[in-house]
Structure 1
Amino acid sequence: MPCAINIPACRLGFTGWFFLLVVVAYAAMELRGFFPRSERPLINMVHVSCGITIFVLMVARLLVRLKSPAPPIVPKPSPMMTGFAHLGHLAIYLLFIALPLIGMVMMYWRGNPWYAFGLTMPYAPQSDFERVDTLKAIHEWLANAGYFVIGLHALAALLHHYWWKDNTLLRMMPRKR
């Protein structure tokens, strides 16, 4: 489907917008210490809103991917490389579905108001800080693992393009297929 707006961000499609949301979500948490405490609720809302959007996009992407598989890689990689690719994609889908879910459950069990998209989200009538601490530790560990998974994914795409010289990276770019 052609893009009516001739700007690079529009042409990036799903991958570009998804990547932008991930960067904003990560940056909101990594850079929040540089802002006054009074700005923290806004920064947290940006983080949560991006996380919820990432969750919705990942579920939609997974459903689309299950219905219409990716075009073949040319030349065809070895079965071992295909297995590694499937494992890597599984890690990405699980990571970016689990992270927002864990984050939302954690915010719920804090037992105080929290916000997404400017709206008050549901929260538990009573806090469970032991559960919150556990969920927060898992959420932070997965977020840190996300740096590794994203980096490995980018490295694999570059290896496909420059080392193995196949069409993997081109398949991800609009109008280059």
Structure 2
Amino acid sequence: MDNAIKFRSRGSPRLPGERYAPPSVFLHWVIALLIAIAYAAVITKGYLPRGSAERALSLTLHEWTGVAVLVLVVPRLLWRLIKGAPAALPGQGWLVRTASSATHLLLYLFMFAQPILGYLTLNAGGHVLTIPGLDIALPQFVGKDDELRRSIKEIHETVGNAFYWVIGFHALAALWHHYFRRDDTLRRML
């Protein structure tokens, strides 16, 4: 595989060194910001007193940033499938290309799985998520089931903890390319 998640189905292949298209760059950074907010909100929630308005707000922020990630990752993946990504830069060895592909695949799986697991946890807990200001409830996919909620929540938390490492690896790899290899990998996403 020449580049991470190379799904290009039509059109001419992209050139090495070409930048990511503006929609890809925009969605990448908005989703990255939303994921950072979701993590910060859930960590903050753990330090706030149970039953407090601040804790409820932190949890609501975590929930809605998760929903926003799921909503935005759909057009991001569709853009990637249709338009593809720039080809690997010259000099990228097999190991670097393979690590890049694996990391990007894991990141896409994470961006879909985490919000879905979180939403199913809410459903199984009997919690209805309503659109703020509109009081429109989002659909429930599973009924209230405390045992199922505990199981899904444990998976959601485990995946979330594992992805600290994947996200960290992704960020460190971009910085490694920028500061040590001095190539355009990071600049292509700016």
TM over 0.5: yes
Tell me whether 26-35 or 95-104 shows the greater mean CA deviation: 26-35
SS in structure 1 of the partner of residue 186 of structure 2: helix
Superimposed CA distance per residue, residues 18-58 of structure 1 (whole angstroms, 9 cap, x where no aligned partner) = 22211111111100134342323332221111001101212
Separation in structure 1 between the aligned mates of residue 83 and residue 91 of structure 2, nearest angstrom: 19
Structure 1, residues 84-120: CA drift from partner, whole Å, max 9, x if none? 1000000100011100011111111112434454543
Query: How many angstroms does 1:126 deviate by?
Result: 5.0
Quick one: higher RCO (CA 8 Å, sep 6+), 1 or 2? 2
**Identity of matched residues, %:** 37
CA distance 1:107–1:24, change in 2 (3 Å) = same
Deviation (angstroms), 1:79: 2.2
Instruction: Give me the whole-angstrom Cα distance separating, in 2, the residues matched to 1:82 and 1:125.
Output: 40
**Alpha-carbon offset, residue 125 of structure 1:** 8.4
Q: Which amino acid aligns with 1:104?
A: Y
Q: 2:164 aligns to what? A: 147
> TM-score normalised to the size of structure 1?
0.82
Q: Could you say which residue in structure 2 is the equivalent of 1:113?
A: 128
Q: C-alpha distance in 1, partners of 2:147/2:61?
A: 25
1:157 alignment counterpart: 174
How many residues are aligned here? 162
Q: Who is 1:69 aligned against?
A: 84
From 83, 88, 96, the equivalent of 2:98 is 83
Match of 1:35 in 2: 48
Deviation at 1:135, TM superposition (A): 0.2
- The one-character-per-residue Cα deviations of 1:53-93 (angstroms, maximum 9, x if unpaired) are 10121221111111112223432411221111000000100
The aligned residue for residue 26 of structure 2 is 13
Would you say 1:93 and 2:99 are equivalent positions?
Answer: no
The structure 1 residue matched to 2:38, chosen from 25, 39, 42, is: 25
More helix by share: 1
Paired amino acid for 2:183: D
Structure 1 residue 170 corresponds to structure 2 residue 187: yes
**Which range moved further: 96-105 or 32-41?**
32-41
Could you tell me the TM-score, scaled by structure 2's length? 0.76
Equivalent position amino acid for 1:46 in 2: L
Q: Which moved more, 1:44-53 or 1:13-22?
A: 13-22
